[in-house]
Amino acid sequence: MTDSGELWIPLVDEPIGSIVAQVQADHPEIDALVSGPHKILAFRTFAYIRVGILLGQLLVENDVPEYDGTETWIEALLREPAHQQALVDELRAVAEEVAADPRYAGDEPVGPDEGVRARFREFAKKQLG
């Protein structure tokens, strides 16, 4: 507990957080759907849950080799392209659901928009070139 009496519960971030982050990095269209702070929080919350459920389903439905210390059961499952695609599809669905939620309609994107980036590139060219 903190001094103010608040209880902080950290989000479980490994390995599901790493998986979600990697899919987001590989598929920028997912990030584009959930660019505001409230959308990001909602997306991560539901993405972590749904990825966990999906991985559990895949584990039940598929045989994985016995653990020999080289890779986890998650890594073994995600070697299969169909499982990777199912993961991407699930995360895209979560992002689309969050983006379509009217409660987040006024959520401003985090970071500069494309116009700001273009103006900065032009400024940098003038200053450095």
pLDDT in tens, 64-119: 888 888 888 899 999 999 999 999 999 999 999 998 988 887 777 666 667 777 88
14 DSSP assignment: T
Residue 15: strand, helix, or coil: coil
| 12-to-35, 58, 121 alpha-carbon distances in Å | 21, 20, 37
Question: 59 — phi, psi (to 5°)?
Answer: -65, -40
- Structure confidence at residue 24 (pLDDT): 92
| Percent of the chain at pLDDT exceeding 90 | 42
Do residues 93 and 49 make contact, with C-beta atoms less than 8 angstroms apart?
no
Whether the predicted pLDDT of 13 surpasses 60: no
Least confident range of 4-8, 28-32, 48-52: 4-8
Domain boundaries, the chain: 16-128
pTM of the model: 0.72
